[in-house]
């Protein structure tokens, strides 16, 4: 399927697309942003980072911070697709960056967006390959890079199925920093030349934890008191009911235990609070700043940007999106806090991280609510094993840091080449149409 047919299909589906985006709106972001109607930045020097949603924003956090520090004369613009991603950008960076929603992949919208943004470089986090957006960048002479680049088996098969469309877009990429050798192999098979492809490692290992995170966690733990605490982070619909069932098993053995439950999506906070009450679990909501009484069974993390702090307040971490068919979320966040990491089996998007943690005896996998409950009780009663798992998890993070340095180096070469109006240093040739 060529790009023209793809564009025609997008236009035909536009009513469904706009309906889907209704829940991804924010008051201070006009609808026109989705059509590329943003202010003009042509008089400024812009570095553009696109991170689709919350997970990608968190992954890109150290890189975005380094761009702010390394290029103070530039404006860093971060785009997201989702409202939750936008809120995460605001929480992490405030006024240090500018945020817009990325334009939908209509030809006119992407052309308008790139012309008005006029970035010196486009940095896409993980895998957001939008054919018209990449084409618009190529026509404007903007090098497009992908950092922390990954392709799952399912995604690879899909890209191969539409090889004409996706191959055209992928061949226009200036540089790809692959998360692993397997990801690099897949990008190579899709048409990225070896000269434009490097294995940098996973940016997720370069987590930086601010000291105030630990200070806030200590304050929360003092409010909670001396009791067993486990944290379930980034949970999804269909998963919370299993976690509450596991918590019931824990409470049968350890009546003082507390579950800190952190749903992935803020629009579900009220729904999850109701579910806890329906299951007979008394709930304290983080947003209400109420005392955590001894009879509280669930502490609901219904705020944004505090997951790392909530992990730090616990003894054991369960990472969500893994007991339902989501593919799992960031296992390295609790690992970086030195916590034992527990997850379900659905981890299709985290293959290399899972293998590394498992090899280091730093993760426990469970396949059901019953198994999770028994595992939690076992770990809560065995401090030696709990500490060993936590130390192993932290050691994995420390041993695999370095992706940020490699990524900064390669991006820096491209940015300097743009400043000096030189040929792209990493590409075989310039993408078609990049004549600016």
Separation CA 248–CA 229 (nearest Å): 13
| Contact present, 4 and 107 (Cβ < 8 Å) | no
Q: Which ranges of 128-210 would DSSP assign to H, the alpha helix? A: 131-139, 153-161, 163-170, 181-190
CA dist., res. 431 & res. 143, Å (int): 8
pTM of the model: 0.75
Output the pLDDT for position 325: 93
Q: Report which DSSP code applies to 120.
A: S
Angstrom distance (rounded) from CA 77 to CA 74: 9
Q: What pLDDT does residue 390 have?
A: 98
User: How would you classify the pairing of strands 316-319 and 229-235?
Assistant: parallel
Query: Is 44 noted as a catalytic residue in this protein?
Result: no
> What's the CATH number of domain 211-398, 3.40.50.1970, 3.40.50.720, 3.40.50.2000, 3.30.70.270?
3.40.50.2000
Query: What proportion of the chain, given as a percentage, has pLDDT over 90?
Result: 78
The dihedral over CA atoms of 302, 303, 308, 312, expressed in degrees to the nearest 10, equals -60
pLDDT recorded at residue 128: 87
Separation between Cα atoms, residue 363 and residue 337, nearest integer Å: 14
Q: Which stretches of 289-382 are DSSP H helices?
A: 307-312, 332-336, 351-359, 369-381
In whole angstroms, give the CA distance from residue 383 to residue 375.
Answer: 13
In this structure, are residues 306 and 283 in contact, taking their beta carbons and an 8 Å threshold?
Answer: no
Of 153, 169, 140, the closest CA to residue 3 belongs to: 169
- Strand, helix or coil at 38? coil
The yes-or-no verdict on residue 65 having pLDDT over 50 is yes
In the chain, CATH 3.40.50.2000 covers: 211-398
Determine the Cα–Cα distance for residues 59 and 164; give it in Å rounded to an integer.
30
Q: Which of 56, 240, 306, 333 is catalytic?
A: 56
d(CA 351, CA 359): 12
Q: Are 321 and 345 in contact (CB under 8 A)?
A: no
Strand partners, 122: 48, 144
pLDDT exceeds 80 at position 4: yes
Beta-carbon contacts of residue 278 (< 8 Å; ≥ 6 apart): none
Q: How confident is the model at residue 373 (pLDDT cuts 50, 70, 90)?
A: very high
Exposed, middle or buried: residue 179 (CB in 10 Å: 0-12, 13-18, 19+)?
Answer: buried
For the record, the structure tokens of 7 come out as 């564009």
- pLDDT tens readout for residues 169-223: 999 999 999 988 999 999 999 999 999 999 999 898 998 788 899 999 999 999 9
Query: Is residue 244 within 8 Å of residue 370, measured between CB atoms?
Result: no
pLDDT for 427: 44
With a pLDDT cut of 70, the percent of the chain lying above it is: 96
Residues 293, 208 contacting (CB under 8 angstroms): no
Q: How confident is the model at residue 22 (pLDDT cuts 50, 70, 90)?
A: confident
If you average pLDDT over residues 82-100, what whole number do you get? 93
CATH topology of domain 3-206+402-419: Rossmann fold (3.40.50)
Terminal-residue alpha carbon distance, the chain: 28
Whether 95 has a pLDDT exceeding 50, the answer reads yes
* Start and end residues for every CATH 3.40.50.11720 domain found in the chain: 3-206+402-419
Mean pLDDT of 44-48: 97
59's CB contacts (< 8 A; 6+ apart) are: 51, 125, 126, 148, 203, 204, 330
Express each pLDDT in 382-431 by its tens digit: 999 999 999 999 999 999 999 999 999 999 999 988 877 665 555 444 44
The mean predicted confidence, pLDDT, of the chain is: 92
Of residues 58 and 147, more confidence is placed in 147
Least confident piece of the model among 163-167, 185-189, 239-243, 250-254: 163-167
Is the C-alpha dihedral spanning 275, 277, 280, 281 positive or negative? positive
55 pLDDT band (50/70/90 cuts)? confident
For 288, the token pair is 């209400």
């Amino acid at each position: 399927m060529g790009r023209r047919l793809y564009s025609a299909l997008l236009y035909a589906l536009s009513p469904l697309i706009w309906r889907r985006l209704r829940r991804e709106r924010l008051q201070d972001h006009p609808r026109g942003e989705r059509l590329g109607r943003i202010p003009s930045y042509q008089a400024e020097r812009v570095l553009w980072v696109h991170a689709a949603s919350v997970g990608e924003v968190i992954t890109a956090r150290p890189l975005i911070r380094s761009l702010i520090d390394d290029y103070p004369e530039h404006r860093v613009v971060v785009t997201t697709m989702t409202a939750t991603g936008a809120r995460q950008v605001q929480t992490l960076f405030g006024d240090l960056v500018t945020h817009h929603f990325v334009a939908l992949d209509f030809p006119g919208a992407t052309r308008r967006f790139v012309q008005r943004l006029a970035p010196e470089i486009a940095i896409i986090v993980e895998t957001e390959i939008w054919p018209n957006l990449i084409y618009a960048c190529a026509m404007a002479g903007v090098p497009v890079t992908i950092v922390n680049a990954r392709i799952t088996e399912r995604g690879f098969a899909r890209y191969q199925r539409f090889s004409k469309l996706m191959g055209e877009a992928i061949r226009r990429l200036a540089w790809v920093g692959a998360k692993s050798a397997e990801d690099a192999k897949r990008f190579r098979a899709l048409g990225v030349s070896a000269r434009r492809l490097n294995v940098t490692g996973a940016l997720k290992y370069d987590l930086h934890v601010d000291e105030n995170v630990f200070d806030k966690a200590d304050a929360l733990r003092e409010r909670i008191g001396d009791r067993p605490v486990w944290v379930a982070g980034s949970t999804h619909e269909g998963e919370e009911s299993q976690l509450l069932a596991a918590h019931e098993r824990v409470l049968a053995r350890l009546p003082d235990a507390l579950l800190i439950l952190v749903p992935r999506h803020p629009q579900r906070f009220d729904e999850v609070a109701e579910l806890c009450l329906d299951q007979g679990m008394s709930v304290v909501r983080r947003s209400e700043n109420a005392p955590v009484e001894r009879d509280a069974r669930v502490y609901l993390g219904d705020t944004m940007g505090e997951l790392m702090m909530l992990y730090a307040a616990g003894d054991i971490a369960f990472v969500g999106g893994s007991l339902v068919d989501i593919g799992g979320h960031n296992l390295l966040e609790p690992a970086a806090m030195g916590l034992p990491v527990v997850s379900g089996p659905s981890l299709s998007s985290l293959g290399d991280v899972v293998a590394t943690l498992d090899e280091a005896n730093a993760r426990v996998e469970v396949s059901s609510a019953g198994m999770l409950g028994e595992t939690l009780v076992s770990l809560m009663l065995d401090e030696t094993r709990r500490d060993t798992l936590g130390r192993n998890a932290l050691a994995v993070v420390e041993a695999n840091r370095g992706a940020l340095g490699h990524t900064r180096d390669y991006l820096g070469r491209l940015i300097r080449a743009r400043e000096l109006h030189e040929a792209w240093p990493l590409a075989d040739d310039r993408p078609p149409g990049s004549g600016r």
